[in-house]
Chain A
Amino acid sequence: MPSEWRTPLLLTLAWRNLWRHTRRTLMILFAFVLGVWSMIVIAAITRGSMEQQLDKSILNLTGHIQIHVAAFRDDPVIEHRFIPPPALETALTGENITARAQRVRVPAVISSERESAGVTLVGIEPQRERGLSFIATAVTDGRLLESPDDQGLLLGRKLAERLETGLGRRVVLMSQDVNNRVADRGFRVVGIFDTQPRQMEEAYVFIGRATAQKMLKLDDHITEVAVMTADRDRLEEPLARLRATVPGLGVQPWTVLEPLLVLTRKITDVILIIWYAIVFAAMSFGLVNTLLMAVFERTREFGLFQSLGMPPAHILGQVLVESLILLALALVIGNLVAAGTVYALRDGIDLTSVAAGMELMGVAPIIYPAWSSGDVAAANLLVFVLGLAASLYPAWRAARHVPVEAITRV
């Protein structure tokens, strides 16, 4: 028997059977569309929020890759310094690298005339921090440092409040130089920066990299090089290139530098899978119930099919094709509606009214949904495959009738 004639037959029967009870079919279709829509949209919002958190953390002085003395991560002090070899500069101008900057990062104490606080002193190359860290765009009062040998200092707004100082006032920075002597210097506050989370405003102060080197007697030494690439999830090539260039130094990706972010990402994936499972469970009950009802109502018809010589496998196939049509329709409509929703929300979901609470959870006050083809594919695949699997039971029920019992069923 050529199978090419069976498929249209099953399709015709399945399609028409679906619309025998238009209202019921539309209701289950609506439930499925809602389920698929919610899977994709909630995933886009969750993913968007998580990606924003990730981008923000990477801009908080992490970068995609950092290069420093191997021991610096565990003990970020001036002893763990290095002179960047000339070959490194060449390697850093290679393909896929969009920004890079040298930094001096050491612990320090900052004092105003009233208060003092422990901070991390960061010596930066201001122009190279653009696209690499938040500081290039975070100065809201005053100005950004103009060059590595700028004599000014950038202070976070929260720290300025704590020190009871402000723009144009002088503060004193104290740290330890390369000879283990106290190194201190007065600076004028030339800029106040605002950033999220606000703890960053208290944790860091910025001066020019050359100024920091001079103050700490570092000469050409630095403590780190931060690198930004074109794609934070494709670091294999730049990592390999940089490791080959500076084999004695630690070249680490953000996934090593920020293990909490990696964990957050994994937790997000797990939460999405749990969300998918919950939505799918609700949908599958509806699907199985609808198909079982349809199978029960059509017991005589299935008996008739068997009487006319339709093999049990084809009866099973007919119910599965009905389910397949329903699932395909729901997926197409659900995906389109979800895509429309994500597009409509492209300017972000404004949660500033609950911004304080959101900040505590590390979530930005405006969330931009992120359409992830992986999440969409996972939702579609899950609904399609498990939907068909859930339909097997009603289909099996339809196919296992004894013809004479089915056909004489009143």
Chain B
Amino acid sequence: MEHTVICHNVSKVYRQEAVAVQALTDINLDIPRLDFVCLSGPSGSGKSTLLNLIGGLDRPTTGEITVDGQRVDQLGKSELAALRLHKIGFVFQAYNLIPVLTARENVEFVMQLQGMEVAERAAKAREILKEVGLDGLEDRRPGELSGGQQQRVAVARAIVSEPSLVLADEPTANLDSKTAENLMQLLRHMNQEHGVTFIFSTHDKLVMDFSRRLITLHDGSIVNDVRRE
């Protein structure tokens, strides 16, 4: 089976002055391509840390992480930037759209970094925004959109450059339940239609119910790993 993500004995220790905080301990995890995985667990269990390590936003203290065949823990800054640009999409709890750019420009941002032709990226941005239900709102800036709409723009931005993997850190935490459900349906749709592997973290039972695989963390260790299909 082809795996998008492989974690082998991954640990992460944060140093806060003289105190060492063990955020993750010996994580071993294989995530097959096209999986739709939920990381759950209480606050401080290590969900976000694990997502950050997989996404190359942070480095493990020990262990190996492979994404799409590349050893993330061994890459330099520029190589990590290139990996994130071409292979990984991010969806954040706080949406994290670029406030000075419109919805369309936010979606085009990554494609511009990739050097895509103007016409091609404009067409793709228009198409994906329509797919996430934001037709007609392309020229609005984030401040003129609701939370749910902003998160849809963030999903469109994460998916439009056709990455192998999308990492979503508590994507529904700032949304009401109805909007959260719609968003999860959208993510599921993207997973199926665009062939992208999804890993997301949540506290939310509703969100967990959408996952095909539920991994529970506690105090930095995987305590449960259940396939739900």
Contacts and interface: CB of A to CB of B under 8 A. Distances in A.
A237 to B, nearest CB: 56
Given A1-B113, A5-B112, A407-B92, A301 B98 contact: yes
Contacts of A308: 84-85, 90, 109-110, 113, 157
A311 B81 contact: yes
Interface in A20-54: 20
A301 B116 CA distance: 22
Interface in A308-352: 308-312, 314
Interface residues of B, number: 30
Interface residues of A, number: 25
A140 interface: no
B114 A1 contact: yes
Interface string A176-210: 00000000000000000000000000000000000
Contacts of A20: 99-100
B85 A309 contact: yes
Contacts of A9: 109, 112-113
Nearest to B87: A309
Contacts of B105: 12
Contacts of B124: none
A131 to B, nearest CB: 63
B100 A16 contact: yes
Given A1-B115, A5-B115, A403-B57, A309 B86 contact: yes
B81 A404 contact: no
Contacts of A309: 81-86, 88, 110, 113
Interface in B51-94: 52, 55, 57-58, 77-78, 81-86, 88, 90, 92
A307 B115 contact: no
Contacts of B100: 13, 16-17, 20
Contacts of A13: 98, 100-101
A312 B109 contact: no
B177 interface: no
B112 A311 contact: no
B185 interface: no
Nearest to B52: A404
A6 B116 CA distance: 10
B43 interface: no
B174 interface: no
B124 to A, nearest CB: 14
B57 A312 contact: no
Main secondary structure of the interface of B (DSSP, over half): helix
Nearest to B115: A1
A100 B52 CA distance: 85
Given A13-B98, A16-B101, A304-B96, A311 B78 contact: yes
Nearest to A400: B77
Contacts of A306: 57, 81, 84
A402 interface: yes
A259 interface: no
B113 A312 contact: no
A310 B90 contact: no
A1 B103 CA distance: 23
B62 to A, nearest CB: 17
A312 B98 contact: no
Nearest to B109: A308
Contacts of B101: 12-13, 16
Contacts of A301: 98-99
Contacts of A403: 57-58
Interface in B32-63: 52, 55, 57-58
B112 A312 contact: no
Contacts of B96: 300, 304, 307, 407
A308 B157 CA distance: 9
Nearest to B81: A311
Contacts of B55: 307
Interface in A288-313: 300-301, 304, 306-312
A189 B185 CA distance: 111
A86 interface: no
B57 A404 contact: yes
A2 to B, nearest CB: 5
Given A1-B115, A310-B113, A304 B98 contact: yes
A307 B100 CA distance: 18
A9 B77 CA distance: 21
Nearest to B53: A404
Interface of B: 52, 55, 57-58, 77-78, 81-86, 88, 90, 92, 96, 98-101, 105, 109-110, 112-116, 118, 157
13 contacts: A5-B112, A5-B118, A6-B113, A12-B101, A12-B105, A16-B100, A307-B55, A307-B84, A308-B90, A309-B110, A309-B113, A404-B57, A407-B96
